[in-house]
Amino acid sequence: MLAFTLRRAVQAIGVMFAVGIIAFSMFRFAGDPVNQIVSIDTSAAEREAVRKSLGLDDPVPVQFVRYFADAAQFKFGVSYQFRQPVSTLLMERMPATLELAICATVFAMVFGILMGVYSALRRDTMLAKLFQAVSLIGISLPTFLIGILLIYLFAVTLGWLPSFGRGEVVKLGWWSTGLLTLSGLKALIMPSITLGLFQMTLIMRLVRAEMLEVLRTDYIRFARARGLTTRAIHFGHALKNTLIPVITVAGLQFGSVIAFSIITETVFQWPGMGLLFVQAVQNVDIPIMAAYLLMVSLIFVTINLVVDILYTVVDPRLRATVGRAT
Amino acid sequence: MTEPILSVRNLQVEFASRRGTLRAIDGVSFDIAKGEVLGVVGESGAGKSVTGLAVIGLIDPPGRIAGGEIHLAGLRIDNLPPEEMRRIRGKRIGMIFQDPLTSLNPLYRVGDQIIETIRTHLNLSETAARRRAIDLLAEVGIPAPEKRIDGYPHEFSGGMRQRVVIALAICAEPELIIADEPTTALDVSVQAQIISLIKRLGRDHGTAVMLVTHDMGVIAETSDRVAVMYAGRVAEIGPVQDVVKNPLHPYAKGLMGAIPTLAGDDKRLMQIPGSMPRLSAIPRGCSFNPRCAFVFDRCRVDRPEPLPRGAQSVACHLYDSVPAESAA
């Protein structure tokens, strides 16, 4: 088990190394960084001085090693537009993005699983058919449109919820949270739904399909033949087997939720990493773009690792094969 | 004669399909006495398994019991409300399915599955149920049960898993066990062990056993009586020696003639021409008539009813209005 975890961790470092190369090459290919820093009328001598002070005249491999060593310590250089360390900027905005992503995922999991189980067990009811129809909309409507529709309905027409921002936030150490104030919670509702709706419909459809599949298996028939209660069969035996693929999808989707919160954050002007990234793209702020790439990759890789480990917790069969393979 | 544990009378099971209602079981009747093993034999699709499922009340829509009665020790069970039927399943009727590899939930320890079943039916504490589970595993012949109880299904071999399945089926001391092809998925050497285990359990606990199989060897070895099914009906039923040695129904004769002997004589095995009719195209009269070597006009018009012939009972016009002495 430990060897398995270690092996996966080594693989994860390999992936991060590859992403590091891509992030680094952004500096080389997206124009001359010196031009981004200095003004138009800077003399050539001054330019060279800046180049030297930033270490940009060193051989490329040396620069790469330096960049990677810095990145490993979460030092991503200084933002061109904000003139602040990128890591500080990311740290400031990460709580907003993570809170949004976690709320969206919890929303997607809770409602996705409930609706999926319901529509599998009560396949022929009107409500189940309604869920199916709604899920089709959720899967096919683009995120920004859902966001705009929600804003139009609940912020503009009804005036119940704020249309942008995080509301009041409370500082807990370096972490700023919107979960402790009423306005923060209200501000969280619409972005979470917007961001989580696609995942919710995905999970719902997945749970429904898996549950129907599992309910047809021999061990469920045998469980019924043993006279177990319907509740024990559905929620003990069937649901646990259903959740294995759901863990994978929900886990991997959590990475995309963070990555694609860019759109939701833009629609709701949510002060998170995604919004920072969009601003960085507009201003060719390469240090931020490269750092964002690295951060998102790190999150993806970490989640993959956690999902792999979670698997073995849920499914004893994997524990055995993992044990044998090591 | 004491009351039979299981009494099935004129059972009919129908499946609604797009092309109309298909009758999978049509007028099946049989009894199983306490401690008796009834073998139910027939080709695939003859309705053996469906009969078993009907008895334990697990016919799923679009199927339904369309007629007849099923009595368990005098209690009519075919029309019980679902919740009452659930209490009977596992407690008074145990069931063993064909494939032990897929019968157990892979995510739960075998012990937890046994304990869950015990505690569903018997008012026992967790520790008492665990002790009982260990005893059960020992009884079905699993070595080191106090260690194996915490194993997961994938850690057991096929034969061992079938033993666990049997332990699950008998954990509440049912009066009736329905074993649906319990040995089909197993190696021949393991088959014999499982068969003798089922037989021993039936004898030790006085449990009635309904053994569904298409393996005449298993039937001959295990059963007290045998029912030969064809196209949803019982063609012949009787004591196993009689039916094997002296089959009456032409279909039963064909089945017995198709068993290879160890003597190894080079004669071709007997073979029944044609195949069993589809449910949607069961012929009028006797459903066996298109394949029967002794067919005559009446077989194509009238449906034969079961006729007693000594200890046997046969549904064939050949034996109708013919005195018992001159037949066969």
**Are A227 and B121 in contact (CB < 8 Å)?**
yes
Relative to beta strand B75-76, strand A175-177 is unpaired
**What are B225's strand-pairing partners?**
B38, B239
Does any CB of chain B come closer than 8 Å to the CB of residue A218? yes
Instruction: Name the helix (H) or strand (E) containing A206.
Output: helix A182-215
Residue B327 has pLDDT above 50, yes or no: no
What pLDDT, on the 0 to 100 scale, is given for residue A110?
A: 92
B173: nearest CA in chain A?
A226
> Between chains, do B154 and A320 touch, taking CB under 8 Å as contact?
yes
> What band does B324 get if pLDDT is binned at 50, 70 and 90?
very low
Tell me the shortest Cα–Cα distance from A72 to chain B, in angstroms.
39
- Interface probe for A, chosen from B107, B109, B119 (most Cβ of A below 10 Å), is B107
* Min distance A312 CA to chain B CA atoms (Å): 11
- Contact criterion met (CB < 8 Å) for B90 and A227: yes
Chain position carrying tokens 């070895």 = B221
**Terminal-residue alpha carbon distance, chain A:** 8
The alpha carbons of chain B give a radius of gyration, in whole angstroms, of: 21
A132 exposure class (CB count in 10 Å sphere: 0-12, 13-18, 19+) = middle
Q: Which residues contact B84 (CB under 8 A, 6 or more apart)?
A: none
pLDDT tens digits along B216-225: 888 888 889 9
B280-293 pLDDT tens trace: 888 888 888 888 88
B22 phi and psi angles, rounded to 5 deg: -105, 130
User: How far apart (Å, rounded) are the C-alpha atoms in residues A151 and B135?
Assistant: 64
- The pLDDT, as a whole number, for residue A325 is 44
**Do B120 and A222 make contact, defined as CB atoms within 8 angstroms?**
no
Percent of chain B whose predicted confidence (pLDDT) is above 70: 95
DSSP label of B89: B
What separation in angstroms does the CA of A224 have from each of A19, A61, B57, B93, B136? Answer: 51, 65, 10, 12, 20
Contact between chains at B107 and A316 (C-beta distance less than 8 A): yes
CB contact under 8 A, B97 and A221: yes
- In order, the DSSP letters of B219-281 are HHHH-SEEEEEETTEEEEEEEHHHHHHS--SHHHHHHHHTSPPTT---PPPP--SS-PPPGGG
- Asked if the C-beta of A226 comes within 8 angstroms of chain B's C-beta atoms, the answer is yes
Closest residue of chain A to B55, computed from CA coordinates: A225
Helix, strand, or coil (residue A54): coil
pTM of the predicted model over 0.95: no
Which residues on chain B are in Cβ contact (under 8 Å) with A230? Answer: 86
**Cβ-Cβ contacts under 8 Å for B268 (sequence gap 6 or more):** none
Chain B residue with minimum CA distance to A229 = B86
Displacement of CA B228 from its chain's centroid (Å): 11
Which residues of chain B lie closer than 8 angstroms to A122, CB-CB? none
Read off the amino acid at residue B5: I
Helix crossing, A86-121 with A273-282: angle to 10°?
Answer: 120
pLDDT at position B326 is 44
Which residue positions in chain A have pLDDT lower than 50? 323, 325-326
CA distance A105 to B146: 42
- Considering only CA atoms, which of A111, A109, A132 is closest in space to residue A122? A132
pLDDT in tens, B106-132: 889 998 999 999 999 988 898 999 999
Q: Which of B231, B182, B236, B185 is nearest to B209 (CA)?
A: B182
Cα–Cα distance, A291 to A72 (Å, whole number): 11
A230 to chain B, any CB pair closer than 8 A? The answer is yes
Cα nearest neighbour of A232 on chain B: B116
Q: What's the mean pLDDT in B72-76?
A: 87
What is the model's pLDDT at position B328? 41
Cβ-defined contact of B106 to A225 (cutoff 8 Å): no
Q: Is the pLDDT of residue B1 over 60?
A: no
Q: Say how many CA atoms lie within 13 Å of A164 toward its Cβ.
A: 8
Q: Which of A212-221, B45-54, B183-192 has the lowest mean pLDDT?
A: B183-192
Predicted pLDDT of residue A111 = 92
The shortest C-alpha distance from B196 to chain A (Å) reads 22
The distance of B172 to chain A (nearest Cα, Å) reads: 9
Which chain B residues are within 8 Å of A314, Cβ to Cβ?
A: 107
Q: Model confidence over A243-291: pLDDT tens digits?
A: 888 887 888 788 888 877 888 888 888 888 888 888 888 887 888 888 8
Strands B208-213 and B176-180: parallel
Chain B residues close to A221, C-beta within 8 Å: 58, 97
Residues of B with CB under 8 A from a CB of A: 56, 58, 86-91, 94-95, 97, 99, 102-109, 116-117, 120-121, 152, 154-155, 165, 168-169
Asked whether the beta carbons of residue B121 and residue A237 sit closer than 8 angstroms, the reply is: no
Q: How far is it, in rounded angstroms, from Cα A131 to Cα A75? A: 47
The residues facing B111 across adjacent strands are none
Task: Say what the pLDDT of residue B325 is.
Answer: 46
Residues contacting A4, CB < 8 A, separation 6+: A312, A322, A325, A326
- Look at the alpha carbons of B244, B247, B249, B250 in this order and tell me if their dihedral is positive or negative: positive
Shortest CA distance from A214: residue in chain B = B105
